[in-house]
Amino acid sequence: MHVRRALGVAAGAAALILLPGLPAYADPGDPTPQGETAEARQPATPPATATPSATAAPPATATPPATVPPTPVPDHGDEDARGFTPADADDYWTPQRMREARPVQEQEEKRFSAPTRMPRSASRPFEGLPIVGTFFWNDGTNTGRFCGGTVVKSPGKNLVMSAGHCFDDQDARKNLTFVPQYDDGKKPHGAFTVKPGRIYVDKRYLAKGPDAAADLDFNFLQLEPRGGKNVEDVVGGAELKINAGYDHSPARLIGYPANQKRPLDCTDKTVRYNSTDPKIPGSFLRIQCDKYSGGASGGPFLVKQGNGWGLIGVIGGWKTGGDKDDISYSSYLDGDAKALYDDAVNNRPPAGRGVLGKAETWKHAEAMAGGYFTEGNPGTWDYSDLIVRWSDGEVTLFRGAGEDADNFDKEIRLTGPNGT
């Protein structure tokens, strides 16, 4: 928050010319200017097309002038699941679309080094486990994406655990769906949609990124019921194992690499890996199973738990799961994972990166003013709103999320491009 305050103070003197004549505010609890709805900033030319949404959704993040790629939309990747029902998901996610989906961008762009010469266990394609499946969605370019996930036991019977790097951006997500036991285009248990705004990623992971916060590479997502039943009622769930240790033999690894039509299954032992790279600190679970290439992210590390399974990790963490396709990693599930799980169980608002978008957008900011421009928020030393005038003439207010929130939570357009 010291950084935000300094930004506002440094820019304030040059930008106070923006303040006269701004629209009056309406409801103090939701200070959107009268006669103006919160919406994505649109360039003057050429016009941009807004991300579709079935019903009212949180405001989209600013779209820069025409020379800049579209800026990502709402925090916690608000997936336009409003109005997107399980029946819609069944219809939309055809076998062809699911087969054509790509890994998350970090995995798609990864180049795996040559396999190690260390002994490793062989993986095999199989029909899958009911509790393990795949998330599918369309990103801001309408490209189909996927990442693995595992249903975990919870009081609400509606939680799936995946890798944090699968959901750590602000890119638009449409048609976000979980398919339990996905197998080469098949949906044996149907499709479950994700609750809007209920993707839980540790705020430190959002702030620091996948290297500096590699030990926090996990997340939880809440699912909507299907036919009156929650996902755990339909397929069961794994028990989340907290502080279970690093050494497990046997342990089971399941994943959905992009170059495989069916899920892979492998049994080996896990050991502790202590990173020696200061840019990627932490201790991680490591397992040696072959063929787990790009796309396997989010797949579970499982141990036998009575008649079921315990979840001790998900593919991710060190180099978001590894840089060789025969060694996979997971962040260690400790009190941080339990705290995030508790947030999801108790339906607390997820952490978000705010609505500021990428740095590329901000080269088009001509002037800024920091201050307290909205009502209903505490005027404390570490809280501030921000008004920005962009190079196309648009003026935008970013509302401070409140004391200790460490971000801006809403974008409000005050005037359109060229003062419209």
User: 66 falls in which pLDDT band (50, 70, 90)?
Assistant: very low
Beta strand pairing call for 159-162 and 219-223: antiparallel
Mean pLDDT of the chain: 79
Whole-angstrom distance between the N-terminal and C-terminal Cα of the chain? 33
**Residue 4: its H or E element:** helix 2-15
pLDDT at residue 17 in the model: 39
Residue 80: inside a domain: no
Say yes or no: 53 and 201 in one domain. Answer: no
- The three-class DSSP label of residue 269 is strand
Exposed e or buried b per residue across 278-289, where buried means at least 16 C-beta atoms within 10 angstroms of its C-beta = eebebbbbbbbb
Residue 352: inside a domain: no
pLDDT at residue 79 in the model: 43
Concatenating the DSSP letter of every residue in 149-173 gives EEEE--TTS-EEEE-GGGS-S----
Domain boundary (311, 345, 379) is at 345
- The three-class DSSP label of residue 77 is helix
pLDDT at residue 112 in the model: 47
Say yes or no: 276 and 394 in one domain. Answer: no
Residue 77: pLDDT over 50: no
**Rounded Cα–Cα distance for residues 312 and 248 (Å):** 9
Residue 355, CA distances (Å) to 24, 367, 405 in order: 22, 18, 13
Say yes or no: 397 and 315 in one domain. Answer: no
Say yes or no: 125 and 225 in one domain. Answer: yes
**Rounded Cα–Cα distance for residues 414 and 385 (Å):** 13
Number of domains forming the structure of the chain = 2
- The three-class DSSP label of residue 237 is coil
Q: Among all chains, which residue has been given the structure tokens 């949404």?
A: 53
Say yes or no: 93 and 195 in one domain. Answer: yes
CATH code of the domain in which 124 resides: 2.40.10.10
User: pLDDT tens digits for 215-233?
Assistant: 999 999 999 999 999 999 9
Say yes or no: 307 and 341 in one domain. Answer: yes
Q: Among all chains, which residue has been given the structure tokens 């315990």?
A: 310
Residue 33: pLDDT over 50: no
User: Given phi > 0 = left and psi -120 to 50 = alpha, else beta, which region is 274?
Assistant: beta
Say yes or no: 336 and 382 in one domain. Answer: no
**Token duo for residue 258:** 């992009």
Say yes or no: 23 and 155 in one domain. Answer: no
Residue 81: inside a domain: no
**Rounded Cα–Cα distance for residues 6 and 12 (Å):** 10
Higher pLDDT, 101 or 80: 101
Residue 289: pLDDT over 70: yes
**Rounded Cα–Cα distance for residues 312 and 390 (Å):** 47
Mean pLDDT to the nearest integer, 130-137 = 98
Residue 302: inside a domain: yes
Q: Tell me 229's DSSP state.
A: B
Exposed e or buried b per residue across 203-230, where buried means at least 16 C-beta atoms within 10 angstroms of its C-beta = bebbeeebebbbbbbbbbbbbbbbeeeb
User: 61 falls in which pLDDT band (50, 70, 90)?
Assistant: very low
Q: Tell me 121's DSSP state.
A: B
User: pLDDT tens digits for 146-198?
Assistant: 999 999 999 999 999 999 999 987 566 899 999 999 999 999 999 999 998 89
Domain that holds residue 288: 86-345
User: 28 falls in which pLDDT band (50, 70, 90)?
Assistant: very low
Say yes or no: 137 and 270 in one domain. Answer: yes
pLDDT at residue 62 in the model: 40
pLDDT at residue 49 in the model: 38
E strands, 54-209, are: 102-103, 124-125, 132-138, 144-152, 159-162, 174-180, 192-201
Say yes or no: 133 and 263 in one domain. Answer: yes
Mean pLDDT to the nearest integer, 61-75 = 36
Say yes or no: 188 and 296 in one domain. Answer: yes
